[in-house]
Chains A and B, each alone.
Chain A
């Protein structure tokens, strides 16, 4: 199993541009999550999904959109990129809605908006 994969690893965007961060998991997990990690900070939840076709907002959803058309894929869309979105983005998945169960993380995407 590859686990959770994310592409790209690095990206530089200009203000106002758009892009999609890709996330795929091959563990047949129902639950998937997007986090952002700002320098010197913990993770903040952007969006999560409890299954194909179902998504919900987390703590910091503004400026982002997600979709979940399949169990495996959970892309994160940035519209009109802003410098405040400069961060490292992590995708994660779990077998059940976190609770006591482990979340498996991807390697992250480092995004810079200039």
Chain B
């Protein structure tokens, strides 16, 4: 069975610093998708960034980038120039490439609470 592990329950950094959140996963699949979602205190879950396993190039979205190491099954999120608004829970999620139809499966990590201090 697939699992997603986020080993850092909580992290805290100063505003403008760079922070890296770790995520590892376990799967025997060769083709899959990985996501980072952000959940601010408002509770709304927001997609931060996503990566397809067959793409070697790391995804980047403005200040957010990932370090995808397929062999190591690692998918870390780097936030550069952190801002107070980045304070949130961050969830890593894994999805098998099932194609259309049923057998949909999205596995979520337990989350990392990130606090940006002024």
* Residues in A lying within 8 Å of B, measured CB to CB: 40-45, 48, 50, 56, 58-59, 88, 90, 92, 97-100, 102-103, 105-108
**Quick one: which of B46, B47, B52, B110 contacts A42, CB cutoff 8 A?**
B110
Interface hub of A92, A105, A107 (most chain B Cβ within 10 A): A105
* Residues in B lying within 8 Å of A, measured CB to CB: 4, 9, 33, 42-47, 50, 52, 91, 93, 95, 97-98, 100-102, 104-111
Chain A residues with Cβ under 8 A from B9's Cβ? 40
Total A-B contacts with CB atoms under 8 angstroms apart: 59
B104/A41 in contact, CB under 8 A = no
Q: Which residue of B lies closest to A41 (CB)?
A: B110
A102/B47 in contact, CB under 8 A = yes
A99/B111 in contact, CB under 8 A = no
Closest chain A CB from B101 CB (angstroms): 8
